[in-house]
Structure 1
Amino acid sequence: MKKSKFSDSQVIEALKRVEGGLAVPELCRELGISSATFYKWRAKYGGMDTSMMARMKELEAENARLKKMYAEERLKADILKEAMAKKF
């Protein structure tokens, strides 16, 4: 996944500036982002503060790790089933 050039605090700051009355197109020009990027940020991070955002990223990383572990274990179980089927 591509790493963002904006930190969590910068994203939160941008969202707060628009809530404060700054126009979205003006902010997008200033930051050099598309309006679609801004609206994705707002959909994902709207209403969060920096600590909540960091916690969410930690949970996403843990979820990805657990999914990978599950896939590996499932693969092992399938291999064992095949071996047992061939044996009998």
Structure 2
Amino acid sequence: MPKKRFTVEQIIEKLCEAEVELARGKTIGLVCKQLGITDQTYYRWRKEYGGIRTDQDKRSKTWKRKMHA
């Protein structure tokens, strides 16, 4: 089975969806199943991207482009 690759924006969106569902009382396992990811992937993403919002990521990319131009 081929691995799925997600963009940073997609990951952040899925993390936000997960937070909403978890706040509604759903379990991690059920939320991950709905999102089409494993529990391990959820925890890894949360560790790597947990504090990033989509608008912050876009600003970061813009800044990096300016620095390398």
Contact map agreement 2:32 2:39 (CA 8 A) in 1:
yes
How many residue pairs get aligned? The number is 62
Structure 1 segment 49-60 matched on structure 2, within 5 A: 49-56=53-60, 58=61
* CA RMSD of superposed structures (Å): 3.4
Could you tell me how far 1:8 is from its partner in structure 2?
A: 4.5
Moved over 4 A (4+): none
Contact map agreement 2:32 2:38 (CA 8 A) in 1:
yes
Query: 1:20-59: CA deviations, max 9, x gaps?
Result: 1431101111112111110011101213321123344x27
More contact order relative to length (CA 8 Å, sep ≥ 6):
2
Q: Which runs of 5+ in 2 are unaligned?
A: none
- In structure 2, what is the equivalent of residue 4 of structure 1? 6
Identity percentage of aligned residues: 25
Normalized against structure 2, the TM-score is what? 0.56
Normalized against structure 1, the TM-score is what? 0.47
Greater share of residues in helix: 1
**Structure with larger Rg:** 1
